[in-house]
Amino acid sequence: MTANRTQKTAIEQRLILELSIDAQGEVTRKPSQLGRKDTLEGKLLAEIYPGIQVARISVPHELTPYEQSVVENRMAKLIYGGVEYRLVGASNSAKDGKFYFVDLAHSKQIAERFQHWPERQWCTSPFSSPTAS
């Protein structure tokens, strides 16, 4: 039983966690699509940063200023499953409300590695326009 539990934990740590934050700041795990689970298995990221934990977070598109503030605050201090995550970036998916987080232990290394990418500017304010100054 212990071997199965350890094996399951190791597999779960390699999954890219799919979470959503609603307008009230509640964090929930999104159900995976039928048989589809994104994993770090065989990915360069996992090879360079062993033990890294990644979460892809979805947020609502249209929010009131108050709701936006609530969601931003939750994103600034995101803890799920006993793991503290930090926002490290977004791609074009940011306009669709999708952001990437990594565990606190790896967040500084990842942020430093990608700080020169244009997408990195989303990390300061996920709801501001990337072209706004």
Written as tens digits, the pLDDT of the chain (133 aa) is 455 444 445 555 678 899 999 999 999 998 766 555 688 888 888 899 999 999 999 999 889 999 999 999 999 999 999 999 999 887 666 677 889 999 999 998 988 887 645 454 444 455 555 444 4
Enter the pTM of the model: 0.75
What is the structure's pLDDT at 43?
86
Return contacts of 89-94, CB within 8 angstroms, 24+ apart: 89/114, 89/117, 89/119, 89/120, 89/122, 89/123, 90/119, 90/122, 90/123, 90/126, 91/119, 94/119, 94/122, 94/126, 94/130
What is the structure's pLDDT at 116?
45
